[in-house]
Structure 1
Amino acid sequence: MTEFGAFLKEEAFWTCLREWWEGLAQNRGPRAELRRARTPFDVLTSKAFQRNLVPRLQGKNISLTGAEQERLALPVGVLAHVRQLEAKRFMPVMLADMQKANSDVTDRRVKRLLAVTDRDELFTALIRLVRFMDNTAHLRNLVESGFWWTDATRKNWALNYYLNPEQR
């Protein structure tokens, strides 16, 4: 039996996911369906997820358990709101860089996000965060964070957000 979430360590998964995301720009129906989703369960049960992304992953020999699909649905739904991918900076670092312009708003936003433990609330919070960041996100950071979202993930986000730029 494979380790839960092991597919996140496979480069084939990231290549496939990026290609799928890029395809959303040309195929606006699935993107619209995902953007209308209000919960990760809505994403999980969508055609865009079950008949588009999951078979594409299976075609690359990446099989997901039901629990892995359920966890992956959250970041995939948020990813449908992303228009541009950031290549270098993780999302909390991007927020820290934005902080200079409006520190009070950004600090409150980050603190609220770090307090979230419910996955439905996290889904909404991450969508708002992506919109706040001009529909930009770091693919791997968004997907891994949304998939796991544990105390360790929240701690990592806090450290990346609050550390001084020269300490990053």
Structure 2
Amino acid sequence: MPVKQETNKQKNYFVVLWQEDDQARLKGWWQALQETPGERAQLRRCETPADVLVQRGFHRISRSFPWWNKQDDDVLALAMVAGVLSHVKSEFPLSFPAQLGQEKDNSGKPVMSELRFQQLLASQNWEELYSSFRRAVHLVGDAANILSIADGIFLWGRDKKNLLNENPRKRFSFMWADAYYGELFKYQKETKS
């Protein structure tokens, strides 16, 4: 489903994936994945992050990010990044949560409904989050900001490990809700009850 593309480039702000070397490494892995359809297909068939852990494409990315391979949750975060990004066919400049909040086909409704978006934010475990992210990528027509997706996944993992930032504005749920509703409010008018 085509979604309008912003003409003025939005500056993306990343909390976890902020180093340019890491961003370049992730983009390089994703671009190489596009050129290896067999690996990409294996990752796309995975139903859970645990399924991703035994795939060749995961082991390729884990060697690019060895520091994300130390703890269980970090490994699952990286597996989730690999699995979700295998569903992205092309890049989109807008942050992923903002893209989900964009208007769908001049309908006055967002690409991802508020209910589905709130369910994504309320995910309690890696499997729920993985399912929500995969659904979200398909809702935007398989074109998404890969760095925004990866940063969101890593940030969600940190929040769940109780490594919460003291500043609530730098937590996953606030940052994603702020971007989503920022887009939604551009086209939806407040209704009075």
TM-score, normalization: structure 2?
0.71
- The structural deviation recorded for 1:66 is 2.6
Q: One-letter code of the match for 2:86?
A: A
Which residue pairs with 2:77 in the alignment? 71
Larger displacement relative to structure 2 (21-30 or 101-110): 101-110
Q: One-letter code of the match for 1:90?
A: S
Query: Are the equivalent residues in 1 in contact too, given 2:68–2:78 (CA < 8 A)?
Result: no
- The structural deviation recorded for 1:79 is 0.3
- The gaps in structure 2 that reach 5 residues or longer are 1-14, 161-170, 188-193
- The structural deviation recorded for 1:9 is 3.4
Distance change >3 Å, CA 116–CA 63, structure 1 → 2: closer
Q: Equivalent of 2:100, from 92, 95, 98?
A: 95
- The structural deviation recorded for 1:102 is 5.6
- The structural deviation recorded for 1:7 is 7.7
Query: Are the equivalent residues in 2 in contact too, given 1:7–1:13 (CA < 8 A)?
Result: no
Q: CA-to-partner distance for each residue in 1:100-155, whole Å, 9 max, x for gaps?
A: 53627622221221221211010011000000000121122100111221382012
Distance change >3 Å, CA 127–CA 44, structure 1 → 2: same
- The structural deviation recorded for 1:95 is 1.8
Pairing 1:62-141 to 2, within 5 Å after superposition: 63-67=67-71, 68-87=74-93, 89-99=94-104, 101=107, 103=109, 106-141=113-148
Q: CA-to-partner distance for each residue in 1:45-81, whole Å, 9 max, x for gaps?
A: 222111x2223x16xxx54333233321112210000
Q: One-letter code of the match for 2:98?
A: V
State the secondary structure of the residue aligned to 1:38. coil
Quote the RMSD (CA, aligned, Å). 2.4
Which residue pairs with 2:57 in the alignment? 48
Which residue pairs with 1:3 in the alignment? none
Larger displacement relative to structure 2 (94-103 or 27-36): 94-103
Which residue pairs with 2:190 in the alignment? none
Q: How far apart, in 2, do the equivalents of 1:38 and 1:137 lie?
A: 20
Relative to total residues, which structure has the larger helix share, 1 or 2?
1
- The structural deviation recorded for 1:86 is 1.2
- The gaps in structure 1 that reach 5 residues or longer are 1-5
Distance change >3 Å, CA 95–CA 64, structure 1 → 2: closer
Q: How far apart, in 2, do the equivalents of 1:70 and 1:115 lie?
A: 18
Q: How far apart, in 1, do the equivalents of 2:69 and 2:32 lie?
A: 24
Query: Are the equivalent residues in 2 in contact too, given 1:71–1:148 (CA < 8 A)?
Result: no
Give 4+ residue runs of structure 1 displaced > 6 Å after superposition: none
Does residue 1:13 correspond to 2:3, yes or no?
no
